[in-house]
Amino acid sequence: MRDPIQTIPSYGYGSALSTEQRNKVMRNTYWLLALSLVPTVLGAWLGVATGITSRLQGGLGLIVFMGGAFGFMYAIQKTKDSAAGVGVLLAFTFFMGLMLSRLIAMVLGFKNGTGLVMTAFGGTAGVFFVMATLATVIKRDLSGMSKWLFAGALVIVVGGIVNVFVGSTMGFLVISTLAIGVFSLYMLYDLKQIIDGGETNYINATLMLYLDLFNVFQSLLALLGLTAGEE
């Protein structure tokens, strides 16, 4: 899942903010990103404990997920310049955790399920560390990546929707693998944009990075579940 509003190419960013202002945006983004993980975990725990999302399968699950996610992202865009934006963002991350709970419950059903979840978490953290490091050392403008990343995200979304109805395991593996690559690069792009001053709103910046992390973790967990899960 990626908000199309966030994928429109931008050019010539990085000259409007001072170094102090850029650091402030980055610092606030990291704090809010860390905070956003709390409702995500709570939502996932609630979903696993109650099984509330277990019936959201096929087309129904797709409608609820897409409708809720895009509805929240629209609300975040409308409130990102006010304190209410933080609350809406945290509510969104709780919803995303709830939607993630069905996959987590499935993986936890394997004998090595807990290990797979921890591996996916560690892998996602590793990707973030690598991309954050690269974003600080790369000096060139990465804005040209935007249109290619958007195309990749569009392929993933369309392929994922089609595969909901087709139910192809191979298709799911391909989509998950592609998603890990595309959203890892999106992470690099978004971090570089924040560092260079292309993103001045920390709520919006947090939303972008959260979506990157969520998609990498979800895809990695799905891939591990399909290939390494032990009955």
Counting residues of the chain whose pLDDT is more than 70, the rounded percentage is 91
Per the model's pLDDT, the better-predicted residue between 34 and 6 turns out to be 34
Residue pLDDT, tens place only, 205-222 = 999 999 999 999 999 999
Taking the CA of residue 47 as centre, how many other CA atoms within 13 Å lie in the half-sphere pointing to its CB?
24
Q: Where are the alpha helices (H) located in 109-144, listed in sequence order?
A: 113-137
Identify the residue with better confidence: 30 or 66: 30
Can you give the residue ranges of every domain in the chain? 16-228
Query: Which amino acid does the sequence have at 168?
Result: S
* Number of other residues whose CB lies within 10 A of the CB of residue 162: 12
* Angle in degrees, CA 88, 91, 97, rounded to 5: 145
Name the residue with tokens 């419950």.
105
Neighbours of 72 (CB within 10 A): 20
Residue 106 near residue 51, CB atoms below 8 Å:
no
Cα–Cα dist 229/104, whole Å? 12
Judged by DSSP in three states, 69 sits in: helix
Closest CA to 85 of 29, 4, 46: 29
Note the Cα 189 to chain centre separation in Å: 13
pTM comes to: 0.87
